[in-house]
Structure 1
Amino acid sequence: MQIVVIGAGVIGLSVATELARRGARVTVVDQHVPGAGTSSTSYAWVNANKKEPQAYYDLNLAGMEAHRRLAEATGGGWLNTGGHLEVATDPAHAAELEQRTARLTGHGYAVEQVTAERARQLVPDLLVPLDAGPIVYFPSEAHCYPQLYLAHLLTAAEDLGVQVVSGAQVKAFDFDAGRPVLRLADGTALGCDRVVSCVGRWTGELLAQAEIPLAMETFTRPGDATVGYLAVTSPVPVALSGLLTTSRLNVRPDGAGRLQLQALDLDQTADPRAVPATDSPLAEELLDRLAGVLRHSRAATVSELRVGQRALPSDGLTVAGPVPSRPWLYVVATHSGVTLAPLLGDLVAAEVYDGVVQDLLAEFRPDRLLASGVRHAPAQPPRRPGEQ
């Protein structure tokens, strides 16, 4: 079977390697270079923490397990399994965290409420206010270094004979003797048996070329659900091995002493067309918050400030499945791309190549976003601490 995968991010390359492992002849095409899209601007938190409804929670939980299995089997240095500590310092966050902890405990999720003393053992440089609300530890959560994961995938893909073509923009879908043909911008025609679309936030644009109106959120204004700030600091002597979430700042290691910062309440001005400078008031605000969360971070500077753009189906949930009117076309799009990448690689390959329907994907077929006249409430930005 000859298969073209469109998109060389963490999802596309995961799918491509698993298809090739099963025996498919795979070509990956990307309009840019591997990892240039959402994969390169992700907080990369591997979790099922706030994932609802139940089917979405189950899918993300399986994604966490798939990441860990793959990392253990390959010695993957892309996965940091240092866990996640969450500290509530305002009443709304405290109430929401208590409710969420109870709900996750009921699911059997790995979660425990800890004392301030235990929190400082987990994060030695943590500054915990005396009036801090619940402090909760999620030991099974992790974060990913997407570029290292992509390096692993590219090596595996090359070993399996996958052809990766960069700078190749798909301009049209066509047919020749009943087989789909991709027309590229440079005039190249790629014939195949199946096509798998893994283009993230460009999904709606790509599928429109095949007259398939899949409902995806697109950037329309600063601070909408598709965008958010991410900052990377200079190296600092801070003892932090995993993720840390507080009421005002999310922090995780970014390698070599650098930290990655995220503050969801500041995202209201995020605009990919106007990224603030690394010495802007926004950057200074992030650094001030960091200094209030972790000791020894006062000397940090912001070395990178990005506006991440999310791949977001219109109802906020994953899309994975064939398009009913184009059975040769399989579509994958999800906001939880990093968490789900190894799992979706396996599940999608099983459906596309083996023809084995995967129960975990039953609730996430593209049909729900293709039906004429069906409306969905607009996807919402990630919930800030304390939001229900």
Structure 2
Amino acid sequence: MRTAVIGLGVLGASAARSLALAGADVTVLERRAPLAGTSGTSFAWTNSHNKNPRSYHDLNVAGMAEHDALAEEPGPCGPWLARTGNLEWAEDDAGAERLAASVAELTGRGYPVEWIGSRRARELVPDLRVPATDIAFYPTEGHVVPALLLARLWGEARDRGARLRCPAEVTGLSEVDGGVRVSLSGGDATVFDAVVIATGRWTEAVTAAAGHRVAMAPPDVAGSATVGLLGYTNPLPARLHRVLTTPALNVRPDGGGRLVVQGLDLDADADPAAPPPADGEHARKLCARLTGLLDGTAGARLESLRVGQRAMPADGLTAAGFLGGSDRIYAMATHSGITLGPLLGRLAAQELTTGRPVDALTDFRPDRLLGRADLPPLRPARFAGQQ
């Protein structure tokens, strides 16, 4: 089966790998460069927090398990998955009530979480400056290094014959006898047996080119749920190998002593058209919060401060499946791209190659979003980082 995968982020690379493993002849069409979209500006935290309805929670738990299974397979790529846990606490009564309700819900679902004290928290993160309060510890959570994950997925796809065309901008998709005609800028066109759309925040435009527009939340509206700031520090002598989701700052390691920092209240000022400087007011606030949170971070500075643009279907849930009754054009889009990437790629390949639907994706078919213009704007969430 000659298959085109449009987009080389984590979802596209995962689909390409799984299709190639299944024996498909795979060509990836990437407009700019690998990781040029959402996957390259992601907090990259693997979790299933506040993922409702229950089927969405279960899908994300399965996504975490897929990461674990992939990490256990032998391969030459570096350690792209750190399953070292996440620590979270609240700063006021209202936050404590929300956290307790969240922990209770997760406990009822069998999701691993435990309450610990500040002493245990410092054993887990020796340099942590933490108030004397109850802390929720999620031992199965962690983070991903997106570039290393992409290297693993796309490298194994290439090993099995997958090819990359880049730059290659798709301008049209149309079903023809025996396949799908993919038109590119410059006038080139090729017919494939099937096409997978994995274009992140450009999903609406690309699916519209196929005649089946999947409604997405606008990815470039300043202060909206789809934009946020991510800071990347200089190398620091701080002992942190876990994820921290705290009232003022989310932090995770990024390799080489660097940390990724995120202050969700600052996202109100995030504007893709006007990225803030790495030495401006927002950067100073992030660094000050980091110094207050972790020993070993005195003198922290940001090497870069990026505006991340999240890929988010218009109702906030994942979209994965065939478009408009077609059995040849398949689309995937999700806010939880890091957590779900390896799983969705495998399930997409399974549905494409077998023709049989996967029950886990029943609630997430993209046709529910076709042509929708009546959905309310999404509001920023407590855990808004791309996951």
What is the match of residue 114 of structure 2?
112
Determine helix, strand or coil for the equivalent of 2:12. helix
**Does the CA contact (< 8 Å) of 1:90 and 1:247 recur in 2?**
no
Once residues 15 and 59 of structure 1 are traced to their aligned partners in structure 2, the CA distance between those partners, rounded to angstroms, is 17
**Does the CA contact (< 8 Å) of 1:3 and 1:193 recur in 2?**
yes
1:289-328 matches, within 5 Å, as 289-328=289-328
What is the match of residue 84 of structure 2?
82
**Does the CA contact (< 8 Å) of 2:172 and 2:182 recur in 1?**
yes
What is the match of residue 122 of structure 1?
124
What is the match of residue 104 of structure 2?
102
1:34 aligns with 2:34: yes
- Describe the superposition over 1:234-280 as per-residue Cα deviations: whole angstroms up to 9, x where unpaired: 11111111101111100100111111000111100101111111110
Farther off after superposition, 60-69 or 320-329: 320-329
**Does the CA contact (< 8 Å) of 2:212 and 2:324 recur in 1?**
no
Once residues 245 and 79 of structure 2 are traced to their aligned partners in structure 1, the CA distance between those partners, rounded to angstroms, is 23
**Does the CA contact (< 8 Å) of 1:45 and 1:338 recur in 2?**
yes
TM (norm. structure 2) is 0.95
What is the match of residue 255 of structure 2?
255
In the TM superposition, residue 384 of structure 1 has moved relative to its aligned partner by: 5.8
Farther off after superposition, 255-264 or 178-187: 178-187
In the TM superposition, residue 178 of structure 1 has moved relative to its aligned partner by: 4.2
Once residues 59 and 328 of structure 2 are traced to their aligned partners in structure 1, the CA distance between those partners, rounded to angstroms, is 24
Determine what percentage of the aligned residue pairs are the same residue.
47
In the TM superposition, residue 213 of structure 1 has moved relative to its aligned partner by: 2.2
What is the match of residue 378 of structure 2?
379
- Describe the superposition over 1:13-49 as per-residue Cα deviations: whole angstroms up to 9, x where unpaired: 1011101111111111010111110010000001112
Distance of aligned partners of 1:140 and 1:175 in 2 relative to their CA distance in 1, 3 Å threshold: closer
Once residues 325 and 298 of structure 1 are traced to their aligned partners in structure 2, the CA distance between those partners, rounded to angstroms, is 57
In the TM superposition, residue 176 of structure 1 has moved relative to its aligned partner by: 4.6
Determine helix, strand or coil for the equivalent of 2:180. strand
**Does the CA contact (< 8 Å) of 1:321 and 1:365 recur in 2?**
yes
**Does the CA contact (< 8 Å) of 2:214 and 2:372 recur in 1?**
no
Once residues 357 and 21 of structure 2 are traced to their aligned partners in structure 1, the CA distance between those partners, rounded to angstroms, is 18
Distance of aligned partners of 1:77 and 1:267 in 2 relative to their CA distance in 1, 3 Å threshold: same
**Does the CA contact (< 8 Å) of 2:314 and 2:375 recur in 1?**
yes
In the TM superposition, residue 65 of structure 1 has moved relative to its aligned partner by: 0.3
Once residues 80 and 258 of structure 1 are traced to their aligned partners in structure 2, the CA distance between those partners, rounded to angstroms, is 15
Once residues 229 and 136 of structure 2 are traced to their aligned partners in structure 1, the CA distance between those partners, rounded to angstroms, is 25
Determine helix, strand or coil for the equivalent of 2:327. strand
1:18 aligns with 2:12: no
How many residues of Structure 1 are paired with residues of Structure 2 in the alignment? 382
Query: What letter is aligned with 2:377?
Result: P
What is the match of residue 219 of structure 1?
219
Once residues 208 and 21 of structure 2 are traced to their aligned partners in structure 1, the CA distance between those partners, rounded to angstroms, is 31
**Does the CA contact (< 8 Å) of 1:277 and 1:283 recur in 2?**
yes
Once residues 262 and 312 of structure 1 are traced to their aligned partners in structure 2, the CA distance between those partners, rounded to angstroms, is 19
Once residues 84 and 310 of structure 2 are traced to their aligned partners in structure 1, the CA distance between those partners, rounded to angstroms, is 25
Once residues 66 and 315 of structure 2 are traced to their aligned partners in structure 1, the CA distance between those partners, rounded to angstroms, is 25
Once residues 3 and 220 of structure 2 are traced to their aligned partners in structure 1, the CA distance between those partners, rounded to angstroms, is 34
What is the match of residue 208 of structure 1?
208
Distance of aligned partners of 1:373 and 1:62 in 2 relative to their CA distance in 1, 3 Å threshold: closer
What is the match of residue 288 of structure 1?
288
What is the match of residue 331 of structure 2?
331
Once residues 271 and 50 of structure 1 are traced to their aligned partners in structure 2, the CA distance between those partners, rounded to angstroms, is 25
For structure 2, the 5+ residue unaligned runs are none
In the TM superposition, residue 63 of structure 1 has moved relative to its aligned partner by: 0.1
- Describe the superposition over 1:145-187 as per-residue Cα deviations: whole angstroms up to 9, x where unpaired: 0000111122101111001111100111245544211011132
List structure 1 runs of 4+ shifted beyond 4 angstroms.
none
1:122-141 matches, within 5 Å, as 122-130=124-132, 132=133, 134-141=134-141
In the TM superposition, residue 325 of structure 1 has moved relative to its aligned partner by: 4.1
What is the match of residue 155 of structure 2?
155
1:238 aligns with 2:230: no
Among 78, 84, 93, the residue aligned to 1:91: 93
1:176-215 matches, within 5 Å, as 176-215=176-215
Once residues 36 and 315 of structure 2 are traced to their aligned partners in structure 1, the CA distance between those partners, rounded to angstroms, is 25
- Describe the superposition over 1:182-238 as per-residue Cα deviations: whole angstroms up to 9, x where unpaired: 011132212111111000100001111122221111135311111000001111111
In the TM superposition, residue 129 of structure 1 has moved relative to its aligned partner by: 2.1
Once residues 384 and 195 of structure 1 are traced to their aligned partners in structure 2, the CA distance between those partners, rounded to angstroms, is 32
Query: What letter is aligned with 2:382?
Result: R
Determine helix, strand or coil for the equivalent of 1:326. coil
**Does the CA contact (< 8 Å) of 1:78 and 1:146 recur in 2?**
yes
Once residues 359 and 266 of structure 2 are traced to their aligned partners in structure 1, the CA distance between those partners, rounded to angstroms, is 38
- Describe the superposition over 1:131-152 as per-residue Cα deviations: whole angstroms up to 9, x where unpaired: x3x2010000010000001111
Farther off after superposition, 226-235 or 167-176: 167-176
1:65 aligns with 2:82: no
Query: What letter is aligned with 1:114?
Result: I
Once residues 196 and 224 of structure 2 are traced to their aligned partners in structure 1, the CA distance between those partners, rounded to angstroms, is 28
Determine helix, strand or coil for the equivalent of 1:292. helix
CA RMSD of aligned residues (A): 1.5
Query: What letter is aligned with 1:144?
Result: V
